A = this chain, B = another copy of it.
Amino acid sequence: MKFFEDCEGITEPQGFFASGVPCNVMGKNNGKLDLGLLYSPRACTAAGTFTTNDVKASPVLYCMDLLNDPKQNFHGVLANSGNANACTGKQGDLDCVKMASETARHLKVHSKEILVCSTGRIGVHLPMSRITAGIADACQDTLEELDGGKAFQEAILTSDTRTKSCSAQVETSSGKVTIGGTVKGAGMIQPNMATMLAFLSTDAAVSQTFLQQCLSGAVEQSFNRMTIDGDMSTNDTVLFLANGFSRVNIEKESKDIISEFKTAVSRICACLARKCVTDGEKVTKFVEIQLHGASSDRDADKVARCIANSLLVKSSWYGSDPNWGRIVDAAGYAKVGLDFERFDLWYDDIPAVERGQPLPANKPKWKEIVSRKSFVIKIHLNSGSGSAVLWSNDLSEEYVNYNKSE
């Protein structure tokens, strides 16, 4: 497998075109690209995963409904930043339909063949006349087959500081297939902005069932492994489109190739998720928590999340303070029956606590590790074979300052 970062992303596979245009969603007139379109002239199968928040934005409900029909094909995705179209009632649902139908009209496809995503402020109606004008521009760009992968990446950003993309190539018996992906930040860029959107595309020919299976497996081990501030959005969405342009039917390939394709999807999702965490709002550090020896994977996940979401733990990371006491405290309130006398903890490969006994002689080494931009905290509960990995980051004063008001 060949793997690339910071590339065209979703337009790396053949037969996909993208664009990003400014349509002034927030009314700030700052020229920011804020409407993106991904378009495949060839019909695609599509898979998706969505936020599990009780409060789902209109575009989330819209996409879930369309993907519910396994026979439905798609030609593209329209995504705007600056406004989440969440908590916007019936008008929000109508705006969603309008975005799809306007796009479909320009692209001369059926309205149901266009997916819609939004990210941004909650509780404000979309400025539909400006969006409609933007859709015309975005469609024109993709129809002219301009190379707009980067523009699309920019158009979906909110408080992210940089675009994020990667792609993978898999050689098969019938030729090469490519998978591309891009994501926008899991950090909260502006007040009420709290969404992760990720898009994947491939020129492989695959069934909807297989595509969804690949995506769900990969998302569970990537996007679902990250937590920046514990706040789950109303809009989180991952979409994966396959247009079959390569004429390679992955499901008819050998077991090894199928497995390599799945690995490629997983690697793309993992790469995008890590980029997201690193570009979290006002983040200075990337921390991987490896939790082993729990009674079950679920318990391991619970403990890891308590640690990763603890304000005190996150504050200490920001201050380059190892502070294993806070980590133990957070692990304890996960209430999975933790026995501290069996508790092991390492910073990278340096043991800090062994069977509940701190090893203070190693302290200078832990301190050095925690002062790095990226490190691993490994914990063993020695109570079973359940494990979990979680990607997180620190909490900075700047985060609070950044999010304190509109």
Contact = CB atoms under 8 A, between A and B. Distances in A.
Interface in A320-342: 320-321, 323-326, 328-341
Contacts of A329: 53, 55, 86, 122, 192, 194, 231-234
Interface in A69-127: 86-87, 89, 121-123
A332 B340 CA distance: 34
Give 8 closest A-B pairs by Cβ, nearest first.
A319-B404, A122-B325, A55-B332, A319-B405, A321-B405, A315-B403, A54-B338, A397-B397
A312 B231 contact: yes
Given A311-B311, A406-B321, A330 B231 contact: yes
A217 interface: no
Contacts of A401: 397
A399 interface: yes
Contact of A323 (B319, B358, B406): B406
Nearest to A337: B54
A400 B321 CA distance: 12
A231 to B, nearest CB: 5
B123 A192 contact: no
B191 A403 contact: no
B231 A310 contact: yes
7 contacts: A53-B332, A122-B325, A191-B321, A230-B311, A231-B330, A316-B403, A321-B406
A318 interface: yes
A400 B194 contact: no
Contacts of A52: 333, 335
Interface string A200-243: 00000000000000000000000000000111111000000000
Q: What is the copy number of this chain in the assembly?
A: 2
A41 interface: no
A150 to B, nearest CB: 30
A356 interface: yes
Contact of A357 (B89, B330, B335, B358): B89
Contacts of A338: 54-55
Contacts of A55: 328-329, 331-332, 338, 340
B404 A316 contact: yes
A53 B89 CA distance: 41
Nearest to A357: B89
Interface string A26-64: 000000000000000000000000001111100000000
A257 to B, nearest CB: 39
Contact of A332 (B54, B328, B403): B54
